[in-house]
Amino acid sequence: MGKTWFGREKKYQNAKTIIESRAEALKMQVKVHYISLVKSYTNKSQDEFTFRSNIVLSELLDKIAESYGKQFTAEVYDPAKKEMKPTFVAMVNGVLMDQLQGIKTQLKEGDNIILMSLMTGG
């Protein structure tokens, strides 16, 4: 227990607790929705990713490419060139990435990202 100070109990935190609580506060979570052909490369309709701090769209795409491998990188996003393949697009909160800052679009806590092909048919 802590000491009392002006009639109130004072609770002490150790350095580890302070560091852990600051690290929690710095975490950022985004949700990614995979539509059309992209869904066939991931075998999922959505994912949630947590990062230690704010990131740009290319960093999220790098993480997705790392998770889903060769077919995703061959068809959707090239992490070496930091670019989407011509027939695919990303949207951030419903806005096309090219209407924002492209691959350098800053992401924030709670953003919804959609990855999809430009054309779908049926």
Phi, psi of 11 (to 5 degrees): -100, 135
Is residue 52 in some structural domain? yes
Domain that holds residue 67: 27-117
Mean pLDDT by 10 residues, the chain (122 residues): 52 55 70 95 96 93 95 95 95 96 95 89 56
Number of domains in the chain: 1
Strand partners, 49: 30
Is residue 47 in some structural domain? yes
What is the pLDDT at residue 30? 97
User: What three-state secondary structure class fits 94?
Assistant: coil
Is residue 18 in some structural domain? no
Contacts of 60 (CB under 8 A, 6+ apart): 30, 32, 49, 51, 107, 113
What is the pLDDT at residue 119? 74
